[in-house]
Amino acid sequence: MSIGKSIKRVDAFDKVTGRAQYTDDFQINNSLVAKIMHSTIANGRVKSIDISEAVKLKGVIKIITCFDVPDIKFPTAGHPYSLDPSHADIADRKLLNERVRYYGDDIAAVVAKDSVSAERAIKLIKVEYEEYKPLTSVEAALNESETPIHEEYPDNILAHTSYEIGDYEKAIQEENLIFFQGEYETSPVKHCHIENPISYAYAEGSRITVVSSTQIPHIARRVIGQALGIEWGKVKVIKPYIGGGFGNKQDVLYEPLNAYLSLAVGGRCVKLDISREEDFVSTRVRTAMKFKIETYVRPNGRFVARKLVLYGNKGAYASHGHSMVSKAGHAFKQTYNDEVATKADMYSVFTNLPASGAMRGYGIPQFAFAIESHIEDIAKELKIDSIEIRKINSMKLGFVDNQIKCNSNGLEECIEKGKKYVDWDNKIKEYKNQTGPVRKGVGMSIFSYATGVYPISLETAACRIVLNQDGSVQVQMGATEIGQGADTVFAQMVSEILDIPVEDVHMISTQDTDITPFDTGAYASRQSYVSGMAAKKAAIEVKEKILEHSNFMLKLPVGNLELKDKNIINKETGEILASLKEVATHALYNKETSVHITADVTNQCKSNTFSFGVCFVEVEVDIPIGKININKVINVHDCGKVLNPQMAAAQVHGGMSMSLGFGLSEQLLFDEKTGKPLNNNLLDYKLPSIMDTPHLEAQFVETFDVSGPFGNKALGEPPAIPVAPAIRNAVLNATGVKFNVTPITPQRLIEKFKEKKLI
């Protein structure tokens, strides 16, 4: 049995020894190098570009400007293609942009023999702009815009959606309700994956091949075709091992431009690698959001009616469109359920900042910070225990929202485990009436998270399994391994069904859109749930074919045989009748009915479910110096059946670390007057290091979710959700001071403590 065991990662040896091949390891002979010229204004137009001096530079092969590229707008979001135009991703950018929409927009590209020549050429290019006022905030974009950022959106609102359950205005007329209101804000942050976006592009015959560090190879293929105006079948995308993505690489970034540059130099191989400073602003960031929440509650803590108004800062381009803001807004009616009415209005607004896109948690870390802060504020005012108010109002088993059903719910057990770890009841009493410069506190938060994107988008995944003559199998998945351990879990699933060792399941980790089965990619915590079902179905089909041929080979009636421990056995007696190797070899080489046993299966997933979890934190706040120390922190997750405990814990540790940065230190800063980034480097952007990270405790409550292939549900993104609000609430309980903006930096601590006369 493989499921539920801490099987060693299938890619572990290659990665720790350096044998694993990443995109930059594909050193193709005589590759040219491309570098991008970025705008030095945040809002305006390119009036002219003078390349006369740059083209004379030795080593320069070609210079392409925004005036040279095809007049084709294309989308970049890593979503499935929609046959319904009204549901399609927004096509709002070109390969290079004459209309500049953020400081760093792509306006020209140089192809040269080496990077030094390319960079020197960019410095010689002269650009004349028509400049408009930068609009770096939602408020400015809504109220101060003379020239729309996109002509199609004159008010700079990309989208506005709303819903109302029950009658909100009528519900709040009930007598004896207590009214609470809060405003909360999260800041733009960066993914900071180890490997920057990079690609190679070259022509093969009439086709273009792109080798890329992408989470979405099959979607990238389609978008490259759209951007270049060519048939999608003329594009091949290869994804080697990838050094992290966290959602940034769920957008198609520079692959279309690189393909175009290759074709512009006769199909020669072009390498396009961007710097860390470029990655910070010229790819994607997490959507900054502002929340205004109103709650009407009974004295016992039961929510009667709530209202949300949410604004998301989309930045310069649509990317994933309204999806993040919409998901955050819809979570408002999921994690907590109101007795009578719930109302929400969600706005996505264009500004002159870097485009925001997917990042681990897809809008829910922002939402969780707001809602969990708000609920903690209510609990303190009503003098109700933080845990009890959440238990009273949180989602219960059987809840359904938009076809997403709560099939399993271990939330209360998660709470009990976390509560015990931090000694909640005793610490609440111990830290109740503190004075002095250093104070301690405990805080907690909860979350729910859907698994995949059904029914909002198509959920489809495929798996191909081939039986080798020695009884081992090859497995190809369109689902992309991006460091999270998906390939290992798929190997465990196949091993479980076929009852063969994981070592006999050979995962092909590289995706090649010419030969790899289709999958929409790595996102939405969908892979073990959606793609895992494809692997399970393919393994079952291979098993059936093995047993069918075994019956033929052994001349026995169908139904008497079983595949167990690499052998064909008699079901009733347990007698070993043949080895799997003998059956596999016979199937291929016998002269009567030679057959290569394979399965190629598609799983269209039409289900979804919620995973749950909590974070408990104990902090120590040094008030005079504005410092928060994390003494204890634990995440407890209900992700259904835990498929690989060691890898599951690793996922939780990584997500907790990201949430620590989100809550305490990370924020991209911009000059409000110019839109220029101020800290787009790893020195000034305060990413926590191992020296800043406390012990991260990860525990699980196992439930069995009937909709998952092995009872499992989402785990990849949820760990990044609850830590930041739990810290915020612990600081509130320690000091009595509310911090409603992320990150809670020393500067913000000092300012607020001064305001509240604690300093």
Q: What is the pLDDT of residue 107?
A: 98
* C-alpha–C-alpha distance, residues 213 and 272, integer Å: 11
Give 86's pLDDT tier (boundaries 50, 70, 90): confident
Residue (of 97, 30, 33, 37) closest to 272 by Cα position: 33
Give 754's pLDDT tier (boundaries 50, 70, 90): very high
Residue 487 or residue 556, greater confidence: 487
Fold of 285-454+607-755: Aldehyde Oxidoreductase; domain 4 (3.30.365)
* C-alpha–C-alpha distance, residues 474 and 517, integer Å: 13
* C-alpha–C-alpha distance, residues 673 and 609, integer Å: 45
Residues 388-401: tens digit of each pLDDT: 999 999 999 999 99
Residues paired with 445 in a beta bridge: 615
Q: Does 1 have pLDDT greater than 90?
A: no
Contact (CB, 8 A) for 187 and 668: yes
Q: What is the pLDDT of residue 68?
A: 98
Mean pLDDT, residues 640-647? 98
Fold of 460-604: Aldehyde Oxidoreductase; domain 4 (3.30.365)
CB atoms within 10 A of CB 17: 8
Paired tokens of 299: 């004295």
Contacts of 190 (CB under 8 A, 6+ apart): 279, 280, 285, 286, 666, 668, 685
Helix %, strand %, coil % for the chain, to 5?
A: 30, 30, 40
Q: What is the pLDDT of residue 559?
A: 85
Alpha helices (H) in 182-254, listed in sequence order: 217-228
Q: What is the pLDDT of residue 29?
A: 83
Q: Does 145 have pLDDT greater than 90?
A: no
pTM, entire model: 0.97
Sign of CA dihedral 570, 571, 574, 578: positive
Residues 150-201: tens digit of each pLDDT: 999 999 999 999 999 999 999 999 999 999 999 999 999 999 999 999 999 9
- Which 3 state secondary structure label does DSSP give 621? strand
Residues 680-717: tens digit of each pLDDT: 999 999 999 999 999 999 999 999 999 999 999 999 99
Q: What is the pLDDT of residue 493?
A: 98
Q: What is the pLDDT of residue 28?
A: 83
Distance of CA 708 to the CA centre of its chain: 20
Mean pLDDT, residues 79-87? 92
Domains 13-132+197-273 and 285-454+607-755 share a fold: no
Contact (CB, 8 A) for 443 and 733: yes
Mean pLDDT, all residues of the chain: 97
What is 13-132+197-273's CATH number, 1.10.10.10, 3.30.360.10, 3.30.470.20, 3.90.1170.50? Answer: 3.90.1170.50
Phi, psi for 264 (deg, rounded to 5): -70, -20
Q: Does 40 have pLDDT greater than 90?
A: yes
CA distances from 150 to 77, 113, 159, 181 (A): 18, 36, 13, 34
Q: What is the pLDDT of residue 558?
A: 75
Residue (of 702, 701, 744, 729) closest to 616 by Cα position: 729
Q: What is the pLDDT of residue 26?
A: 85
- Which 3 state secondary structure label does DSSP give 133? coil
Residues paired with 439 in a beta bridge: 621
- Which 3 state secondary structure label does DSSP give 261? helix
Q: Does 557 have pLDDT greater than 90?
A: no
Whose tokens are 């698994």? That residue is: 451
Mean pLDDT, residues 616-630? 98
Domain locations in the chain?
Answer: 13-132+197-273, 285-454+607-755, 460-604
Contact (CB, 8 A) for 655 and 720: yes
* C-alpha–C-alpha distance, residues 363 and 231, integer Å: 34
Residues 302-361: tens digit of each pLDDT: 999 999 999 999 999 999 999 999 999 999 999 999 999 999 999 999 999 999 999 999
Share of the chain above pLDDT 70, in %: 100
With 0-12 / 13-18 / 19 or more C-beta atoms within 10 angstroms meaning exposed / middle / buried, residue 267 is middle
- Strand ranges (E), 383-459: 400-401, 404-405, 438-450
DSSP 484: S
Residues 234-274: tens digit of each pLDDT: 999 999 999 999 999 999 999 999 999 999 999 999 999 99
Residues 489-503: tens digit of each pLDDT: 999 999 999 999 999
